[in-house]
Every structure is written in structure tokens, then in C-alpha cells.
Amino acid sequence: MKWNNVKLFTGLAAAALLVGAADLNAAAVEVKIELPNIRTIQTNTVGENKTDDLYLLVTGVAQGAPVARQLPEGKTWKSNPKEPAVTPAAKVVLWEGKLEEGQFIALTVAASAGSADGKVDEAKRKEYFEKKAASDKKVEALTAGKLADAKAIEAARQAVNKQNAAFYKSINELYPKRKGDSYVGAFDVIVANVGGKILKRVTPTGLLAGEHYGTAVKQYSKIKYTRENVLTKDANGQFYELQMEPMGENDESVRVKMLEVEKVGDVRTVTDYLVDVKISGDGKALKFELAGEHPGPTIVHDYWDWAE
């Protein structure tokens, strides 16, 4: 009887180990971070019916390894209100792969637009990557091997956002206004596997210059409603102006609005872009919730600090 009990115990222990191993394997999650839309509301290039040369600079860390890449690689997208840079038919994948338990991705996506005739200044891009890497090294969370829980993720989000806000406030030293490419805006994406569950944060850099409300000179990246000025094409090919909400259909994407109002001589100019961010876990789109609300005088002026 005792021997049978031992055999029974041994069998149960082995089964438990097998279950534990299965749980460990199940904890890994396939993750995809996509940009299904990048819409031009108003071009950086001055004048009617003008087109921007747009590209993204993606930096940060993924599974502990540094990231520094341009999208599209070595060239630009042509973009204007009627011809968006990125559409769902040709969406951009920022990152795709498997996250093990505790692993995380922390990326900063910065947009640059201008009239560079499709050419990218390689020296400028190299300088940007070097300066951004030096800035990232000031954030201890980016060197952490893991993000263990929601508290750690939130602390990382705040630290990355604080450092990036400081970095981009002086970005025009690298991207002079109206001289070739111009900085448009930036946001952070943090995704972590905590206990087999994907936790995420999307955080715009916020207000870098000027005031939140009104039409004065300013520069910001925010999660907010747009005005009724986003050109959208219907099934018949006709364009109409639409107000875009902070999140996409079924709350499965969050939209970051990037705007700069400036004076070029005596002329007031506006650059305005809208970027959709979508995150999937094991092939299923994850829903977003908005956080850190700042009510404004009208719905157009409401904004949120981040989405999770």
C-alpha cells in the first residue's frame, strides 16, 4: 500500500511538472505592433495641394536589444490629405515576435515630414539615432531585463515619457524648421508579457511648446479628438471631412494626433498628422482604454495622457 502511495505521489508530481511546463510554454505570447493608418490632415510642406515626404524613426529596446530603424527603410512615403502615407491595405509593422514571461518592448516612434524629394539625409539620421540612444540611456527602466507587473510598466511609461519630452523640446536643433525634413511628433509604445497576459501603454510626448488651447504657436503630440477636417474617401471615391475619435473601431486602436502651429514669416502654418496604433496578442486585437483625462473647453480640446 505504501509503495502504491509512493507511485501515486510520484505520478501526481510528474503530472504537476508536466502541467507546470505546459503553463510555462503557454506564458509566451505572439505580439504584433502595427500602424494601420497614418493620415495627413495638413502637410508640413507649405502651399495648396502639396505633398510631404514622410518617414518614421523608431528607437528604444525590444527584448533587451537596442532598436534604431527607419520606416520605410532608406526612403520616404509620399503623403497628403487625399493620399495617406499608410492605409490598412498596406499597414506598417513596428514589431512582431514572441514575448516570453516578463519580456517587454519599449519603442519611441518619431515622425519627420518635409519636402526632401524622397531623399533621406543619412548624416542627420545617424546623428538622431546617436543622440536618441544617449537620451534613452538616462532611463533605467529601458535597461531592465524585465517588467514584472503593472506597477513596473507604469513607472517605465512615466520615466520614458519624461525623458522623451525633454529630448524633443530641443529637436529643432537637429531638424531646423522648414529646412528639408521637419520633426512632426512622437509617441512611446510599451508592451510587456506579465503572467501570460499582454499589458500595454501608448503615450504621446505631450505639449512641447505653446499653450494647450487656442490657435497660437504650439507643438504637441496628444491623444484627442480631431476637428472635422480629416479627409476621408467613401465607397464611391468621394471625399468628405470627418471628425476622428481618439480610438478606432471597437476600441482596437488608439490615435495619436501630432500638430505644430508656427509662423513662417508673417504666415501662420499648420502641420497636422494622425497615427493609428494597434497591438495584437496571439493574433487577437487588444482593446484600449484611455487614461489621464484633461477636459477642455470643448470636446476638441479634451485630451488623454496615455492609453492602455
Q: Output the pLDDT for position 32.
A: 98
- Single out the residue of 244, 242, 207 nearest to residue 222, CA to CA: 207
Residue 70 reports pLDDT greater than 90: yes
Identify whether 16 is part of a domain: no
pLDDT digits (tens, 9 = 90+) for 29-53: 999 999 999 999 999 988 888 999 9
Q: How high is the mean pLDDT of the chain?
A: 89
For residue 21, is it within any domain?
A: no
pLDDT tens, 230-256?
Answer: 999 888 889 999 999 999 999 999 999
Is 1 among the domain residues?
Answer: no
Task: Answer yes or no: is 8 within a domain.
Answer: no
- Is the pLDDT reported for residue 204 higher than 60? yes
**Cα gap 160→152, rounded to integer Å:** 12
Residue 123 covered by a domain: yes
State the pLDDT at residue 185.
Answer: 96
Report residue 226 as a C-alpha cell.
480631431
Residue 285 is part of which domain span?
Answer: 29-307
The 3-state DSSP class for residue 249 equals helix
β strands within the chain, DSSP E: 29-35, 38-42, 52-62, 65-71, 77-79, 92-99, 104-114, 181-194, 197-204, 206-209, 218-224, 230-233, 239-242, 254-264, 267-281, 284-285, 290-294, 303-307
Orientation angle between helical segments 150-169 and 122-136, nearest 10 degrees: 130
Number of domains in the chain: 1
In a domain, 190, yes or no: yes
pLDDT in tens, 134-170: 999 999 999 888 999 999 999 999 999 999 999 999 9
The answer to whether position 5 is within a domain reads no
Kindly report the pTM of this predicted structure. 0.89
Report if residue 4 sits inside a domain.
Answer: no
Q: Which residues pair with 222 in a beta bridge?
A: 257
- For 38, 101, 157, 178, 281, the CA distances from 268, given in Å and listed in that order, are 24, 50, 34, 13, 43
